[in-house]
Amino acid sequence: MLAALAVAALLLTGLVARGTVAYFSDTETSTGNTFTAGSVDVAVDGHNPWTARVDANLGALQPGAVGTVDLALTNVGSNAFDVWLRVTDVSTGAGEETALEAADPDSPANDIDGVVRFKLDIDGAPEVLFTEDFTISAGSHQLVGATFAMKEKYIYLGEILSERELNVSLHFRLDIDTTDWAQGDTMTFKVEFYAQQNEAGTEPPPGTELTGHERL
């Protein structure tokens, strides 16, 4: 009986020993992991933020003359983006009073924005916006049929990949049929570029787009 107990004890000891056997192992740990969001950032003519003035010197333009501003838009962020242009905050001033304005003080002469035409070139490909029915705004002196205004509307320029550039030329023309009422009159406005992350063009535009110049 004692011998049987001794054998049982040895078997139990063997089972316990077998349960504590160590195995070779190895653990690899990656440390310092950081999730960084991408960025959307546009520079205009190397300026970021853009603080320069776009001044077409409209007060010195003669009827039919054109003022041109060339700009380079650069994607300095990490994500591709769509970019739009918008002209906003349009205001006018009478400047010096002309003989016609003095003779007819009730004439709404402070609306040179109604006879200013706009043309846009994107990377050398002209967007024909010098038409008789297209103005920046819609003043009382606009020509017959000139009722299509771009003010406050977004014009789609295209997609700019990371570290790529888009060249844009803005042309402003005082309509050739503008008469002496406009001498010395001024127009002040803001030019705004809006960049938005591009995911296969599925994101909605930032606001109302100009008809014929939408992101398709």
pLDDT tens digits for range 22-64: 777 666 676 767 676 777 888 998 888 888 888 765 667 888 8
Q: Are 181 and 101 in contact (CB under 8 A)?
A: yes
Q: Provide the pLDDT for residue 161.
A: 92
Structural tokens at position 94: 């009478």
CA angle 6, 10, 15 (to 5 degrees): 150
Q: At 102, which helix (H) or strand (E)?
A: helix 99-103
Per-residue pLDDT for 214 more than 80?
yes
Mean pLDDT of 180-206: 83
Q: Are 101 and 109 in contact (CB under 8 A)?
A: yes
The more confident residue out of 107 and 130 is 130
Mean pLDDT of 135-156: 73
Q: Provide the pLDDT for residue 157.
A: 92
31 three-class SS: coil
10 three-class SS: helix
The average confidence (pLDDT) of the chain is: 77
Q: CB neighbours (10 Å) of residue 198?
A: 18
Q: Which of 14-18, 44-48, 129-133, 167-171 has the lowest mean pLDDT?
A: 14-18
Per-residue pLDDT for 2 more than 50?
no
Spatial strand order of the sheet with 116-122 comes to 42-44, 66-75, 165-174, 116-122, 125-127
In the chain, where the domains are located: 53-71+84-148+163-192
Cα–Cα distance list, 193 to 68, 73, 96, 153 (Å):
17, 9, 33, 12
The more confident residue out of 103 and 188 is 188
Phi and psi angles of residue 215, each rounded to the nearest 5 degrees, phi first: -75, 120
d(CA 124, CA 152) in angstroms, rounded, equals: 24
Structural tokens at position 30: 């990656």
d(CA 131, CA 65) in angstroms, rounded, equals: 15
54-106 pLDDT tens trace:
876 566 788 888 888 899 999 998 889 999 998 888 887 777 767 766 776 65
Cα–Cα distance list, 134 to 72, 83, 113 (Å):
25, 22, 11
Structural tokens at position 125: 């490909």
pLDDT band at 8 (very low <50, low <70, confident <90, very high): very low
The more confident residue out of 181 and 101 is 181
Mean pLDDT of 156-185: 87
Per-residue pLDDT for 148 more than 80?
no
